Structure 1
Amino acid sequence: MKRYWLWLSLSILAACTTPPPTHSIGPGISGITTVNGTPAYKLSNGEIALLDKPEVTQSYLDRYPPPTQPASQTVRPQGLPASADLSQYQTPVKDQNPRGTCTNFAAVAAIEAQYKRQYGLTLDLSEQWVTHVHHLMELLTDELGTPYPPSHSENPPGPWDGGSVTFNLQLFSTLELGIPLETEMPYINQGGFNDTSMWMPAILDTSPQRAVDDLNLSQEKALWHIPSSFQTTILPQIALENAKYRANQVLYAPKNSLTSLDWYKTQLAGGHEVAFGVLLDSDDPNPKNDVWEIADNPRPDPKTWGGHAMLMVGYDDSKKAFRVKNSWGTGWAEGGYVWFSYDFVTKGKVYEAAVVQSVLPPNFGQPPDRLFLGRYNLDHDGQRGVLDIYHIPYIIKNSPNWASERRLGTYYGPDNQPRRVNGTIAGRQIDFYIDWSNTGARSFGELGGMHYTGYLAADNRTLAGTLLDNRDGKTYGFYGLKLHDYLSGIAGGGVSLNAYVGNWQVYGLDIPSGLFSITAVNGSTGAVTGKVFDGGGGALTGTVNVSDPRSFSFQLNGTTYQGYLFSHETGVMAGTAGPGAGFVATRFDFDPPQVSISSPKPSDTLLRTLSYTLVGQATGDNGSGFANQPLPCNWTSSDAGDNQFPITGNCTPTIKIRSGSPASVTFTLAATAYGGKSAQTSVTVNVQTPSNSSPPQVSITAPANGDFDYVGKTVILMGSWVGGTAPYKNPRWTWQATHKGGCAETDIPTVYHPPINLGQDPYWSWDTTGAQNVANGCGFDNDGGTIRLYVTDDLNLTGSASIAFKLTYVPPPN
């Protein structure tokens, strides 16, 4: 088997040779040259167009020859027209820039044209994806066909150029692979990006698998410096997820038809473009009639200079040429198109050709095989390593050893030893095998060792399931995360029933997708007691295997979770969740919520009788798995007389400061998150009476000012008041003996009489019996005094009125 790596060595040798003389050799082509040992054309617009190395393309054809076509697909119709033109179905001309990626552009152009013809879609598909992924799908061996050990890469770096039209169309007409849009994996137009020997460190044909994986499977944006600085993601996750466009039926030219004009004209007249690869000599002359031709009288030493791939979109017998769409930009030749002589076919220069006869609908559901590609942080039973999946098994049915080929990638274990990984993919299930005893050149088809059975979650980044360890015969749980670090959980001590007690979160996406709590495990039966916090909640049921506490079976919201507690990391468990799904869960402690009050502030002064809005925030885990979700607020007040509180649920309630509020009030905001943890915060404010408030205006209507009466009689007292702030506190009557120095006001013992009938006024009665016996000689004993009425409103503002009044005391006869 020919080695693909040969081209890199040849390129180095070619770089040391002198380029042939420069002369005009074709439409829009001014001469030939080399770029780092790669053959290239100098275009008339000053650009350089790299060609394929014939030996590289031939190595693809040797390893992945086009499938043999049924005889019915090669029948030629009678009476071909003199010309055909499929220009109306072509997408815009693209520019491969100074990179040797013509085979990828030709294959993509054929697929794009069929989508436009079949579905009316003008697509711009990603040639960068085709360039990169077709290298992932290769499996290289030494010259004897023996697989390489991990110290040597078994697939080329994705930036490398070269390829084959028919190889690409074989790949992208399989069910497992499709092509994303250009926006999802943009083309890298940097000349020299393919020359990985210039990188630091260099990536060569002898580089270890890990170095190539570091490049090929990079799924995060990074800054690259070769050939100049630019940012890009080598293998975008979005491209993996949206690679849905692909060929359905492809017709490959039989070898004996490659020199037959009728075969090409039949396809074009039938409405199908032909993607082809052609050998170009070093001395093709200036074309006649603007047709790219082979030299009529070549020099004595013409040689094949390079290979190139393009797309035939028509023909014209009067010109004896095909109409060809190239990938050198619209500034070349006739807007990127050229007439290409029939002689290249009849003289055997075309070495491969294929026709995309149909494509799948753009909404066609495709198998998820490609979604498994990438680098995973793999953790089995607490043993951490890296799993690189860079190949889909038996992807090319016409390749050597197709029936037995099961290579998936390479595993880099905690012992720093790489091991080849084989397995199978079926839907979202993956079975892979790691042979711990084999760190060498494992065969492509051997299935033995630790057997992992996992499932790709809906996020397309999480693998989880179980593994059967052939070394001890036991089953363990495992998980793998792409674009995510290893998970960590709060350890529960050694493996035991009590190790399950705690709060757990289930991962199936980038965020937790399930929360549950285990409060106890029965020591005799293993039955668990717990609660599910989301998905409807309810009780957690299930059992832990008493004889092997690593093993458990739980039911969460109708789904059975079966798995294993990690032996070396008891804060983690993994296994299966119902049929066809995996899960991983970690123990955690529910975080307390975050609460804050933004209004009022501690320095604020609030006024009685006015309304204010309390503004608070409460966030935390609400059971959905998101840590910073809004939570209900619970407000309380230190004013015991304020019946507006407590306020539950509303984080921004509007309240009114009651008129009787104390001079200082504290508002407290509290919240409780899932798991029962609470938090609270408070703010204390000053409270004052509004500055424009005034006391009630009071008057005494009975008795009249200056009246008198006798001690022992009942005096009727009446008063009125207006203004102030209702409600009013109990009015208070007082007496002061004004003719006796030092006599302070003394409350009069009155009885209140509410109105009996509507329209009547209330009154007070004062039984003056004994009024002469007031302490300190301040009684009513013929001395004049003052009766005063005080009225206090709800703001504690007091108004008063007074009248002169005299009681006469007549002592009883002796």
Structure 2
Amino acid sequence: MHRYSTLLPLLLLLASCGGGSGPPQTGTFGPGIREILSLNGVPAFKLSNGEIENGEIELLDKPEDTQWYLDRFPPPPASTSQRVRLQDLPASVDLSAYQTPVKDQNPRGTCTNFAVVAALEVRYKRQYGLSLDLSEQWLNHFQKMDALDTQDTTNDSTGDHRPKAPGTLENQLGMWGGGSVVYNLRLLSSGKLGIPEEGAMPYFSGNNGDSSLWNPPITSSSSQRTIDDFNLSQQSVTYKMPYPTTLTVLPQNAQNTARYQAGQVIYASSSDLGSLDWFKTQLASGSEVAFSVLLDSDDPNPNNNIWEIADKPRTDPKTWAGHAMLMVGYDDSKRAFRVKNSWGTGWAEGGYVWFSYDFVTKGKMREGAVVKSVLPPNTAPPSEPLFIGRYSLDHDGWQGILDLYHIPDPNLFKFQSGTPDRRLGTYYGPDGLGRRVNGTLSGRKIDFYIDWNNPGARSYGELSGLHFTGYLSTDNQSLTGTMLDNRDGQTYGFYGLKRGYLSGISSDSSVTLNSYVGNWQVYGLEVPTGNFSITAVNPSTGQVTGKVFGGGALTGTVNTANPRLLSFQLNGVTYQGYLFGHEAGVMAGTAGPGTGFVATRSDFSTPLVSIQNPAPGDTLYRTQSYTLAGQATGDNGSGFANQPLPCTWTSSDAGDSQFPISGNCTPTIQIRPGSPSSVTFTLSTTAYGGKSAQTGVTVNVQNPPNSGPPVVSILEPVSGSAGSVGTSVFLRASWVGGTAPYNGVRWTWQATHKAGCAETDIPAVYHPPIYQGQEPYWSWDTTGAQNVANGCGFDNDAGTIRFYVTDSLNLTGSASILFKLTYVPPPN
């Protein structure tokens, strides 16, 4: 059992200090019921049973409130197939085992919603094996918000129905209590309303039904705008009820998932309500009965665990109350029905009670209904409730608030004058005046009319004025389409968003062909579906020149006779857009059959680029590998901002053949051995629309730590050995260290004992190894060495052979030996 430590004392205070219509009465009212209260004119029971020590308050319905609904929304006449066929009835029936868990309505007058939801849940369990927990909060909120008074004759001497001006509320607050089993089920079986699961719109269990205590208070005298402010709120708002309470009153997810609906429903006629056989036949056939009952008398036997009725009602009608529950069985031996209540499991027998047959036979039953079938659980939610909400409406630049809170249903809302129900809601224009809105809903299409000349009371069925034809977005949060203005006969574009207004960038002070030049972002419904640019419009033909970002050339034509109209192709769809005249940079219209759109003009922003690695001043080493890391974002032609863009890297090292690197934001590079000591890497990108951006980072370049030249040894010939001109000298060497790979080796000769002889390269021939294990060598053919100028090709006293090895860092190691290359001239 839930506790409400802050709200309950307030209720008791109201009951004891004049907030109610009289002091509490103690007596024998029924099982687990300690006393009856009247809280601000609303009847309530104070319970006392088991764990409930101080008594929990359970609000009831005013009998006159229930009658209000029955007078306006009576059960439809039963068809022949729906009428009860009496059968041989068993002595008892118990359907308790099939029921979903008992719930607690807490101190709110929402019993009719709990009874109906319980009936719907058990039918889904029987029919589809599902154990659902459906949202009573949604049903209470919607049935209040949707209700119109079809019999209001205020200030109308004819007795005919009189609509109310926009300054006066014409529906009810979603937190108010009271209701009707029949009305709820007529809504849920109409094909126009379903229920979501509990998690989509959880039940609010505080006593917030008496909104006159709110700060600011809301009463039946409040304005329509005040009621709408609450009923249509999709934001998390803190209300003072009177204690601060944070709620999301109408979650979008609840609208999106309200799929569970009644199929066939059987309603008790006035004669059925007094027939035990009617109720017992329903139960015997396996169908629970949702019912409401008048509680106007004491229980003469409060201790026999059967809720019974006295012969005479209580003398004070203010203590009379209405209540709704679910009938789940009967027992002739007890002369009572088994009833599932909504006062939690701590009351009576786990939330169930035996309910005397006398409530039927003595005419206390007000309603009875059986859910015989439900729609499949995978049924799509009805489209009509998806339109409900507060929209920021913009037509040709005229901005106002469109509140849609009612689903037209001529079969349910039958006005005395015979006027068909076409009410949708109320519009609040830029002139500060409210105007009632009428129209029709068909699938995801809406036609609605705003009569600019009528800010007063408007007939529920009249269709005149500005005619809007719009389409609901796939995310159910926007309306877009066209508006036919009855004042000038022209068609204009419009959009309505639940999240506020859009804005564009003006290119002209008035609508001309040049107004289209620029970049456009198209919103197919709620999310962007494409971008395009227009660079020119032919003044003679109206043909546009432009590009579809992510595609090819734009195909489109501006109507030169009516430059507000642009027809174009995008993603294979033909768009008819109307450029706003009172708000430049916006157009709206249709996108193929059954879909609307809105587009805004804007220049593409400069893309953003950044380098994460290397950091400025980092030291990089030659021959080492590194990963450059950068990021480039901006417009990529998809219609979404800040999307990844391709990167291009360049280097200030002109000799580095790795660059430029395109299309990769994180390439791996190697610092070349010959890199200068300072290198700048530059990252650049270009977005769709042509705007570019770049950034750079400068790093230091050094040889790797502990690097040195190769250590070289000459193995052959040995130092001091000799050879003669004309022979081949075999050369072999080895080296270690340095930094591989090695760029080159070379052998040189210098006649060191002869003046003026420079070191020269030996034309050595490299001989790779032929067999495994064989070492490579070079050969030096000395033939003709005697012909080198100045005799520098030989040295009889010993010259020098040198061997050089250069590594990848251009560090060179060398070794040398003495070698006599002798030449003896031939005799003359």
- TM-score, shorter chain, exceeding 0.5: yes
Q: 1:301 to 1:708 in 2, by over 3 A?
A: closer
Superposed CA offset, 1:397-431 (max 9, x none): 36326761111111111111111111111111101
Query: Is it true that 1:566 corresponds to 2:580 in the alignment?
Result: yes
- The one-letter code of the counterpart of 1:447 is L
The alpha-carbon deviation at position 257 of structure 1 amounts to: 2.0
Most deviating of 10-19 and 790-799 = 10-19
The alpha-carbon deviation at position 509 of structure 1 amounts to: 4.5
2 CA distance for matches of 1:806 and 1:261?
Answer: 136
User: Which residue of 2 is the match for residue 360 of structure 1?
Assistant: 375
The alpha-carbon deviation at position 601 of structure 1 amounts to: 1.9
The alpha-carbon deviation at position 678 of structure 1 amounts to: 2.8
User: Which residue of 2 is the match for residue 488 of structure 1?
Assistant: 503
- The one-letter code of the counterpart of 2:92 is S
Q: 1:302 to 1:12 in 2, by over 3 A?
A: closer
Query: Is it true that 1:427 corresponds to 2:443 in the alignment?
Result: yes
1:94 to 95, 103, 117: 103
Query: Is it true that 1:448 corresponds to 2:464 in the alignment?
Result: yes
1:23 to 21, 27, 30: 27
* Pairs within 5 Å for 1:594-633: 594-633=608-647
Superposed CA offset, 1:457-513 (max 9, x none): 11111211010111111111111111x221112212131112212221111344312
Query: Is it true that 1:527 corresponds to 2:536 in the alignment?
Result: no
Q: TM-score, normalised by structure 2?
A: 0.88
Query: Is it true that 1:278 corresponds to 2:293 in the alignment?
Result: yes
2 CA distance for matches of 1:516 and 1:461?
Answer: 24
2 CA distance for matches of 1:804 and 1:293?
Answer: 131
Q: 1:803 to 1:72 in 2, by over 3 A?
A: closer
Superposed CA offset, 1:581-639 (max 9, x none): 00011112223333222222223222222222222223333333332333333333333
The alpha-carbon deviation at position 577 of structure 1 amounts to: 0.4
Query: Is it true that 1:414 corresponds to 2:430 in the alignment?
Result: yes
User: Which residue of 2 is the match for residue 75 of structure 1?
Assistant: 84
1 CA distance for matches of 2:316 and 2:702?
Answer: 108
1 CA distance for matches of 2:819 and 2:24?
Answer: 136
Tell me if the contact between 1:572 and 1:585 (Cα under 8 Å) persists in the aligned partners: yes
Query: Is it true that 1:110 corresponds to 2:126 in the alignment?
Result: no
The alpha-carbon deviation at position 68 of structure 1 amounts to: 1.4
- The one-letter code of the counterpart of 1:96 is Q
Query: Is it true that 1:690 corresponds to 2:704 in the alignment?
Result: yes
- The one-letter code of the counterpart of 1:674 is Y
User: Which residue of 1 is the match for residue 517 of structure 2?
Assistant: 501
Most deviating of 195-204 and 540-549 = 195-204
Residue 359 of structure 1 aligns to a residue in which SS?
Answer: coil
User: Which residue of 1 is the match for residue 62 of structure 2?
Assistant: 53
User: Which residue of 2 is the match for residue 174 of structure 1?
Assistant: 190
Most deviating of 343-352 and 684-693 = 684-693
Q: 1:106 to 1:781 in 2, by over 3 A?
A: closer
User: Which residue of 2 is the match for residue 591 of structure 1?
Assistant: 605
Superposed CA offset, 1:726-755 (max 9, x none): 433574858698999xx9xx8545574545
2 CA distance for matches of 1:444 and 1:438?
Answer: 13
Query: Is it true that 1:33 corresponds to 2:47 in the alignment?
Result: no
User: Which residue of 2 is the match for residue 202 of structure 1?
Assistant: 217
Uncovered stretches (5+) of structure 1, i.e. residues with no partner: 1-9
User: Which residue of 2 is the match for residue 313 of structure 1?
Assistant: 328
User: Which residue of 2 is the match for residue 5 of structure 1?
Assistant: none
Query: Is it true that 1:248 corresponds to 2:263 in the alignment?
Result: yes
User: Which residue of 2 is the match for residue 794 of structure 1?
Assistant: 808
The alpha-carbon deviation at position 797 of structure 1 amounts to: 1.2
Tell me if the contact between 1:283 and 1:302 (Cα under 8 Å) persists in the aligned partners: no
User: Which residue of 1 is the match for residue 47 of structure 2?
Assistant: 43
User: Which residue of 2 is the match for residue 4 of structure 1?
Assistant: none
The alpha-carbon deviation at position 352 of structure 1 amounts to: 1.5
2 CA distance for matches of 1:362 and 1:807?
Answer: 105
User: Which residue of 1 is the match for residue 129 of structure 2?
Assistant: 120
Query: Is it true that 1:156 corresponds to 2:160 in the alignment?
Result: no
2 CA distance for matches of 1:313 and 1:594?
Answer: 67
Query: Is it true that 1:329 corresponds to 2:333 in the alignment?
Result: no
* Pairs within 5 Å for 1:454-473: 454-473=470-489
1 CA distance for matches of 2:743 and 2:174?
Answer: 88
User: Which residue of 2 is the match for residue 722 of structure 1?
Assistant: 735
1 CA distance for matches of 2:20 and 2:338?
Answer: 37
Residue 240 of structure 1 aligns to a residue in which SS?
Answer: helix
Residue 26 of structure 2 aligns to a residue in which SS?
Answer: coil
Tell me if the contact between 1:428 and 1:456 (Cα under 8 Å) persists in the aligned partners: yes
1 CA distance for matches of 2:716 and 2:562?
Answer: 96
- The one-letter code of the counterpart of 1:184 is A
2 CA distance for matches of 1:718 and 1:79?
Answer: 122
Tell me if the contact between 2:38 and 2:319 (Cα under 8 Å) persists in the aligned partners: no
Superposed CA offset, 1:260-304 (max 9, x none): 111111211122111111111253334363111112466766775
Q: 1:809 to 1:373 in 2, by over 3 A?
A: same
The alpha-carbon deviation at position 569 of structure 1 amounts to: 2.1
1 CA distance for matches of 2:593 and 2:312?
Answer: 71
- The one-letter code of the counterpart of 1:185 is M
- The one-letter code of the counterpart of 2:281 is T
Most deviating of 414-423 and 290-299 = 290-299
Residue 247 of structure 1 aligns to a residue in which SS?
Answer: coil
The alpha-carbon deviation at position 392 of structure 1 amounts to: 0.8
* Pairs within 5 Å for 1:726-745: 726-729=741-744, 731=746
2 CA distance for matches of 1:791 and 1:187?
Answer: 86
Q: 1:284 to 1:760 in 2, by over 3 A?
A: closer
User: Which residue of 2 is the match for residue 647 of structure 1?
Assistant: 661
User: Which residue of 2 is the match for residue 3 of structure 1?
Assistant: none
User: Which residue of 1 is the match for residue 9 of structure 2?
Assistant: none
User: Which residue of 1 is the match for residue 387 of structure 2?
Assistant: 372
Residue 204 of structure 1 aligns to a residue in which SS?
Answer: coil
Most deviating of 786-795 and 515-524 = 786-795
* Pairs within 5 Å for 1:774-785: none
User: Which residue of 1 is the match for residue 778 of structure 2?
Assistant: 761
1 CA distance for matches of 2:708 and 2:211?
Answer: 89
- The one-letter code of the counterpart of 1:114 is R
Q: 1:789 to 1:664 in 2, by over 3 A?
A: same
The alpha-carbon deviation at position 722 of structure 1 amounts to: 2.4
Residue 464 of structure 1 aligns to a residue in which SS?
Answer: strand
- The one-letter code of the counterpart of 2:545 is T
The alpha-carbon deviation at position 643 of structure 1 amounts to: 2.9
2:357 to 315, 322, 342: 342
1:62 to 71, 82, 97: 71
The alpha-carbon deviation at position 117 of structure 1 amounts to: 1.4
1 CA distance for matches of 2:601 and 2:112?
Answer: 52
2 CA distance for matches of 1:298 and 1:392?
Answer: 40
Q: TM-score, normalised by structure 1?
A: 0.89
2 CA distance for matches of 1:694 and 1:78?
Answer: 109
Tell me if the contact between 1:170 and 1:396 (Cα under 8 Å) persists in the aligned partners: no
The alpha-carbon deviation at position 248 of structure 1 amounts to: 1.0
1 CA distance for matches of 2:533 and 2:689?
Answer: 8
Tell me if the contact between 2:804 and 2:812 (Cα under 8 Å) persists in the aligned partners: yes
Residue 328 of structure 2 aligns to a residue in which SS?
Answer: strand
- The one-letter code of the counterpart of 1:317 is D
Tell me if the contact between 1:715 and 1:768 (Cα under 8 Å) persists in the aligned partners: no
- The one-letter code of the counterpart of 1:570 is A
2 CA distance for matches of 1:243 and 1:11?
Answer: 38
Superposed CA offset, 1:44-86 (max 9, x none): 1211111101111111111111111124422332322222222
The alpha-carbon deviation at position 530 of structure 1 amounts to: 1.9
Q: CA RMSD in A?
A: 3.3
Tell me if the contact between 2:754 and 2:795 (Cα under 8 Å) persists in the aligned partners: no
Tell me if the contact between 1:171 and 1:396 (Cα under 8 Å) persists in the aligned partners: no
Residue 320 of structure 2 aligns to a residue in which SS?
Answer: strand
Superposed CA offset, 1:696-737 (max 9, x none): 334568998679999x99999978562334433574858698
Residue 563 of structure 1 aligns to a residue in which SS?
Answer: strand
1 CA distance for matches of 2:15 and 2:543?
Answer: 68
2 CA distance for matches of 1:139 and 1:300?
Answer: 33
